[in-house]
Chains A and B, each alone.
Chain A
Amino acid sequence: MSSDGNTALKMAENSREEVDSVVVRFAGDSGDGIQLTGGRFAETTAIAGQDLETFPDFPAEIRAPIGTPYGVSAFQINFGSGVIMTAGDAPDALVALNPAALIVNIEEIKPGGLVIVDSGSFSEKNVQKAGYDKNPLEDGSLEKYRVFPIDISRLTLEAVSDTEVNKRDGLRCKNMWTLGLISWMYDRDLGPTIAYLEGKFAKKLPEVAKANVAALKAGHAFGETAEMPDDVRGFTIKPADFAPGVYRTVTGTEATSWGLVAGAQLAGLKIALCSYPITPASGILHVLSRLKAYDVTTFQAEDEIAAVCAAIGASYGGALGVTSSSGPGIALKTEAIGLAIASELPLIVVNTQRAGPSTGMPTKTEQSDLYLAAYGRNADAPLIVLAAHSSADSFDVAIEAVRLATKYMTPVMLLSDTYIANAAEPWLVPDADQFEPFKVEFRTEAEGFQPYMRNSATLARPWVKPGTPGLEHRIGGLERDSDSGNVSNDPENHQLMTNTRFNKIAGIVDDIPLQEIESGGDSGQIVVVGWGSTYGPISRAVGHLRDEGKAVSHIHLRYINPLAKNLGDLLARFDKVLVPEMNMGQLSTILRDRYLLPIESLCKVTGKPFRIIEVEDGIRAALEK
Chain B
Amino acid sequence: MNDIIAAADLTPKDFISDQEVRWCPGCGDYAIVKSVRKALAEIGTPTENVVFVSGIGCAARFPYYMATYGFHTIHGRAPAFATGVKLANPELDVWVVGGDGDMLSIGGNHTLHALRRNIDLNILLFNNEIYGLTKGQYSPTSREGTLSPSTPMGSIDHPVSATSFALGAGARFVARSVDTDQKHMPQVLKRAHAHKGASFVEIFQNCIVYNDGAFDNFAVKKTAPDTQLHVEHGQPLIFGAERNKGIRVNHDILALEVVTVGENGVTIDDVQMHDQTNRTLAGWLARMEAPEFPVAIGVLYCDPTESYESGVARQIEEAKQKSPSQDLNSLLKSGHTWTVEPT
Interface residues of chain A, those whose CB is within 8 Å of chain B, are 43, 46-47, 49, 192, 242-249, 258, 261-262, 265, 270, 272, 274, 291-295, 297, 299, 301-303, 305-307, 309-319, 321, 335-336, 339, 343, 429-433, 435, 465-478, 486-487
Contacts and interface: CB of A to CB of B under 8 A. Distances in A.
Nearest to A309: B80
Interface residues of B, number: 64
B316 A309 contact: no
Nearest to A473: B69
A313 B63 CA distance: 15
Contacts of B333: 246, 248, 429
Given A247-B339, A433-B329, A302 B110 contact: yes
Given A299-B83, A309-B84, A243 B340 contact: yes
A466 B332 contact: no
Interface string B38-79: 000000001111010100100000011011111111100101
A244 B341 contact: yes
Given A297-B87, A429-B332, A472-B68, A335 B63 contact: no
Contacts of A43: 336
Given A472-B48, A474-B17, A302 B339 contact: no
A465 B89 CA distance: 9
Contact of B323 (A47, A293, A476): A293
Given A309-B81, A313-B88, A321-B88, 4 more contacts: A295-B326, A297-B88, A466-B89, A487-B64
B64 A313 contact: no
Contacts of B150: none
Question: What 10 A-B pairs have minimum CB-CB distances, sorted nearest first?
Answer: A313-B84, A317-B88, A476-B72, A292-B319, A432-B328, A309-B80, A310-B84, A474-B70, A313-B81, A319-B88
Contact of B332 (A49, A306, A432): A432
A469 B2 CA distance: 14
Contacts of B315: 292
B340 A247 contact: yes
Interface of B: 17, 19, 46-49, 51, 53, 56, 63-64, 66-74, 77, 79-89, 91-92, 109-110, 112-113, 312, 315-316, 318-320, 322-329, 331-333, 335-343
A478 B231 CA distance: 40
B326 A336 contact: no
A567 to B, nearest CB: 32
Nearest to B52: A474
Contacts of B326: 265, 293-295
Given A295-B326, A316-B81, A261 B331 contact: yes
A317 B48 contact: no
A588 to B, nearest CB: 33
A306 B110 contact: yes
A297 B312 contact: yes
A476 B339 contact: no
B85 A317 contact: yes
A467 B91 contact: yes
| Interface core residue of B46, B64, B79, B89 (most chain A CB under 10 Å) | B89
Contacts of B324: 293
B215 to A, nearest CB: 29
B328 A262 contact: yes
B159 to A, nearest CB: 23
Given A243-B340, A246-B337, A317 B77 contact: no
Contact of B87 (A249, A261, A272, A432): A272
Contact of B74 (A262, A299, A339): A339
A379 B323 CA distance: 46
Nearest to A294: B326
Contact of A467 (B81, B82, B89, B331): B89
17 contacts: A242-B340, A245-B340, A246-B339, A292-B318, A294-B326, A302-B112, A310-B84, A313-B71, A313-B80, A315-B84, A317-B88, A318-B89, A432-B327, A467-B48, A467-B69, A471-B48, A475-B72
